[in-house]
């Protein structure tokens, strides 16, 4: 099993550009989520999903969209990037009581 | 509101010394509690978790944590620290979804002196 994979590992965007952060898992987990990590703030939940077709907002959803068309994939979309979205993004998947984290995507918005 | 407080931004201990990282939480129901470790440039790895039962929980890499409901605390301990333990440690609390919608603390960075 590859576990949780994220692409790209690193991305530089200009303000106003859009992009999609990819996340995939091969463990057949129902639950998937996206976090952002900023210095001194730990991880903050952006969006999460409890199954295909079902998503909901976390603590900091503004500026991000998600969809869950399959169990395996949970992409995160930035429609119009802003410098405040410069961060490290982690995807996680799991079942009851357990989350497995991907390696992260480092995003820089200029 | 749910919250997690890790009072220490960073801690320095000597190799071989004992370690305790503090965590306090606020949660309206029975909490699910977690400790994660993150090495530089890496993702998060689960050290241990508490759902119910014995309040002293054993984890990987020789770590343990004790749940104290009266103090709303879930402190992480290790009897003898190794240089490889230098990392950032995150305490987290979740609900009966079993860890999803998890709230993380700001983290404590551990430095280990030779």
What confidence tens digit (pLDDT) does each residue in A24-72 have?
A: 999 999 899 999 999 888 899 999 998 999 999 988 999 999 999 999 9
Q: Is B7 exposed, middle or buried (0-12, 13-18, 19+ CB in 10 A)?
A: exposed
Nearest to A96 among B4, B98, B107 (CB): B98
pLDDT category at B110 given cuts 50, 70, 90 is very high
pLDDT value for A65: 97
Q: How far is B36 from chain A (nearest CA, A)?
A: 10
Across the interface, do B102 and A99 touch by the CB < 8 Å criterion?
Answer: yes
Q: Which of B34, B43, B109 best tests the A interface by mutation, with the highest count of A CBs <10 A?
A: B43
Residues A11 and A2: their CA atoms lie apart, in Å, by 22
B98 and A43 in contact by Cβ < 8 A? no
Indicate the residue of B42, B101, B106 with minimum beta-carbon distance to A58: B101
Residue B98 pLDDT: 46
Residue B6 has pLDDT above 80, yes or no: yes
**Are the beta carbons of A101 and A92 closer than 8 angstroms?**
yes
Q: Does A33 touch chain B (CB under 8 A)?
A: yes
- Report pLDDT for A102: 93
- For residue A96, the model assigns a pLDDT of 67
Least confident of A6-15, A75-84, B89-98: B89-98
Measure CB to CB from residue A48 to each of B49, B98, B101 and give the nearest one.
B101
B50 close to B97: Cβ distance less than 8 angstroms:
no
Q: d(Cα A43, Cα B65) in Å, to the nearest integer?
A: 21
The pLDDT-based confidence of A13 (bands split at 50, 70, 90) is very high
3-state class (DSSP) for residue B113: strand
| Residue, of B94 and B50, whose pLDDT is higher | B50
Q: CB contact, 8 Å: A89 with chain B?
A: no
Checking if the pLDDT of B114 tops 70, the result is yes
| Average pLDDT score, chain B | 91
Convert the pLDDT of each residue in B28-70 to its tens digit.
777 889 999 999 888 899 999 998 888 999 999 999 999 999 9
How far is residue A55's CA from residue B97's CA, in Å, rounded to a whole number?
14
pLDDT score, position B81: 97
**Contacting residues of A for B49, CB less than 8 Å apart:** 97-98
Structure tokens at A106: 């480092």
Query: Quick one: pLDDT at residue B21?
Result: 98
Instruction: Judge whether residue B20 has pLDDT over 70.
Output: yes
pLDDT confidence tier of residue B25, bands split at 50, 70 and 90: very high
Token digits of residue B96: 């009966």
Mean pLDDT score, B99-107: 80
- Average pLDDT (A64-81) is 96
Picking from B44, B49, B52, B89 by the largest number of A CB atoms within 10 A of its own CB, the best residue to mutate is B44
Residue A2 reports pLDDT greater than 80: no
In angstroms, the CA A107 to CA A90 distance is 11
Nearest to A42 among B32, B99, B105 (CB): B105
Q: What's the alpha-carbon Rg for chain B, to the nearest Å?
A: 13
SS3 content of chain A, % helix, strand, coil (to 5): 5, 55, 45
Give the Å distances, CA to CA, from B84 to B9, B19, B30, B36, B37.
Answer: 19, 13, 33, 15, 12
């Amino acid at each position: 099993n590859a576990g949780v994979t994220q692409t790209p590992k690193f991305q530089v965007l200009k303000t106003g550009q859009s992009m999609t952060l990819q996340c995939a898992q091969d463990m057949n987990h129902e639950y998937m989520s996206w976090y952002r990590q900023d210095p001194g703030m730990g991880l903050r939940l952006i969006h999460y999903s409890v199954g295909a077709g079902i998503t909901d907002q976390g603590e900091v959803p503004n500026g991000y969209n998600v969809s869950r068309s399959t169990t395996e994939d949970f992409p995160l979309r930035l429609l119009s990037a802003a410098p405040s979205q410069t961060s490290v993004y982690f995807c996680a998947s799991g079942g009851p009581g357990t989350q497995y984290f991907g390696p992260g995507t480092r995003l820089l918005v200029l | 509101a749910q919250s997690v407080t890790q009072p220490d931004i960073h801690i320095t201990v000597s190799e071989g010394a004992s370690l305790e990282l503090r965590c306090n939480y606020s949660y309206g129901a029975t909490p699910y509690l977690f400790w994660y470790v993150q090495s530089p440039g890496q993702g998060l790895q689960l050290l241990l978790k508490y759902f119910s039962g014995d309040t002293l929980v054993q984890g990987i890499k020789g770590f343990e944590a004790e749940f104290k409901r009266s103090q709303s605390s879930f402190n992480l301990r290790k009897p003898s620290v190794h240089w490889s333990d230098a990392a950032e440690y995150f305490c987290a609390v979740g609900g009966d979804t079993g860890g999803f919608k998890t709230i993380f603390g700001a983290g404590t960075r551990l430095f280990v002196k030779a």
